[in-house]
Chain A
Amino acid sequence: MSILEKLRLLAVALLCLAYAAVFGYGLATDRDAGWPASTYPMFSEGRTHDPLKAYRVFGVSNRQSEERIYTKDLRPLDGLRLLDGLTRMTHHDQVRALSFVLSLNPRFSAVRLYEETWQAGGEKLLGRELIAEVSR
């Protein structure tokens, strides 16, 4: 076996070790240690009957009606990346992010970010607060 072949198999072993170490650390400490060695904890917390608080973004049409903004309106972003990103931003950055969303959707005259409170299960809206708005 040539040296290059041995190096290749060594690289495989190192890749396995690195993955096992990061993944094992995540599993042992109950912390998702990082992509791509994720421990896949999504949805594991489940849900209780507590109300759900979530950011949601709406586009405002020229007739002033609000429409939910879907992933197809956000390419290359998607709904989760937008909303998760917005929850971690300062108000100033939220406005810049919403300006980007508005630039992707010429049919809207404005974009609004709300923090909404829903009954557990998402059947009934309990309240909403306007966090930011960007208009043309």
Chain B
Amino acid sequence: MKRLDASKLGVCRILMFGFALLYYGTQDFTQWAHVPPVFWRPIAIARLLHVQYPSSASLLIVQWIFRAALLLSCVGLYTRAAIFVAGISGAYLIALPNNYGNVHRIDAAFVVALLFMALSRSGDAWSLDARIGKRAPVVWKFEYAWPVMLIRSLLAVVFFAAGFAKLRHRGLDWITTDSLAILLGEQSRLLEEPLFPAAGAWVAGHARLCSILAGMTVLLEISYPLALISKTARKIIPAGAVAMLISIRVLQGPAFLPLMALQLFWVDWPWLIEWISSQWRVRHAGRSLPRTSTVPGM
């Protein structure tokens, strides 16, 4: 059987669980047990699974299990069990705040991606498990490709849906009128907390600029699925999406960090790592060569 390359998935596992450890692992979810029940408004999936209002003790236990599982998943020790536990406990903890007052879509895609990774064999490379020296497993030929493909497809669906919703609800008016300028002004001044409210208010004061930004946003969102089939689009669209999400944070408020982190699944990590190490080797070899000097007149 042809040996399959698990390295791309392995690097993605390290980055994804490393991000989750830094972003979610440092949050204190036990605080949600102290929010008054008047805010408790379970989302559909919580009602379906009969999720109850949490206690501080139970959240503390789940939180530490989640943190430990994230760490093990990141370094790749007992990986298959760790990523599964991280997926389940993470889905619960990340979903929890959405039962209080308002549903944030910031991490919805990340949770689905986490569940895909929880069912993957992402620990077969770039892990302590692999280093400890088990034999390469015999696996299905798409085993290391499907998690990456599914997460890329998930991103394509998410961005396309966002662009489609804008065209469906407002049509080209979303771009050609001062709709975004008004929205941006209200978001930056009254409703949200952007990084630079003054910048948001300034952009909102320039209707033409807002129309250009609106057009670029819709174009980027609608064309995102092209990244699945075109190598050229793959070089532009995910990077454009990251730039757009940063702009939203700076000018408007919401921080789509988990959605930004998922864009890492577009990078060809084995190629990039090989390129960096070859550059390093060339530079290192250049330095270690004996220096030759010429003496004038000889």
In chain B between 70 and 87, which residues have their CB closer than 8 angstroms to a CB of chain A? Answer: none
**Contacts A35-B105, A35-B108, A71-B193 given: A121-B186 contact, CB under 8 Å?**
yes
Interface residues of A in 41-67 (CB under 8 A from B): 41-49, 52, 54, 56
Residues of B within 8 A of A100 (CB): 35-36
A8 engages B119 (CB within 8 Å): yes
On whether A30 and B180 interact (CB within 8 A), knowing A97-B38, A118-B186, the answer reads: no
User: CB-defined interface of B177-204 with A at 8 Å, one 1/0 digit per residue?
Assistant: 1011111011011111100000000001
List chain B positions with a Cβ less than 8 A from chain A: 28-29, 31-32, 35-36, 38-39, 41, 43-45, 95, 97-98, 100-105, 107-109, 111-112, 115-116, 119, 140, 146, 150, 154, 157-158, 161-162, 164-166, 168-170, 173-174, 177, 179-183, 185-186, 188-193, 204
Neighbour of A75 across the interface among B31, B45, B100, CB < 8 A: B31
Q: How far is the CA of A89 from the CA of B36 in the complex (A)?
A: 13
Contact, CB under 8 Å: B43 / A85: no
Contacts of B105 in A (CB 8 A): 35, 38, 40, 42
Q: Is the pair A36, B102 in contact by a Cβ cutoff of 8 Å?
A: no
A85 to B119, CA, bound (A): 35
A 104-121 contacts with B by CB, 8 A:
116, 118, 120-121
CB contacts (< 8 Å) of A116 on chain B: these are 190
Contacts of B28 in A (CB 8 A): 76
| Complex contacts, A75 vs chain B, CB 8 Å | 31
User: In the complex, are the beta carbons of A36 and B39 less than 8 A apart?
Assistant: no
Which residues of chain A have a CB within 8 Å of any CB of chain B?
1, 8-9, 11-12, 15-16, 19, 23, 27, 30, 33-49, 52, 54, 56, 70-71, 75-77, 79-86, 88-89, 93, 96-97, 100, 116, 118, 120-123
Within 8 Å CB of B188, what residues of A? 122
Q: A36-B111, A80-B102 are in contact. List 12 more A-B contacts (CB 8 A).
A: A8-B119, A15-B115, A16-B150, A23-B161, A43-B166, A76-B35, A80-B101, A89-B38, A120-B182, A121-B185, A122-B190, A123-B185
**CB-based contact B179/A46 at 8 Å:** yes
| CB contact between A46 and one of B29, B108, B183, B191 (< 8 Å): that residue | B183
Q: Which one of A16, A37, A41, A81 contacts B39 once the chains associate, using CB atoms below 8 Å?
A: A81
- A18 to chain B: closest CB distance in Å? 10
| Cβ-closest chain B residue relative to A15 | B115
Q: Which residues of the other chain, A, contact B189 by a CB distance below 8 angstroms?
A: 122-123
B162 touching A77, Cβ below 8 Å = no
Q: Which of A34, A79, A122 has the largest count of B CB atoms less than 10 A from its CB?
A: A122
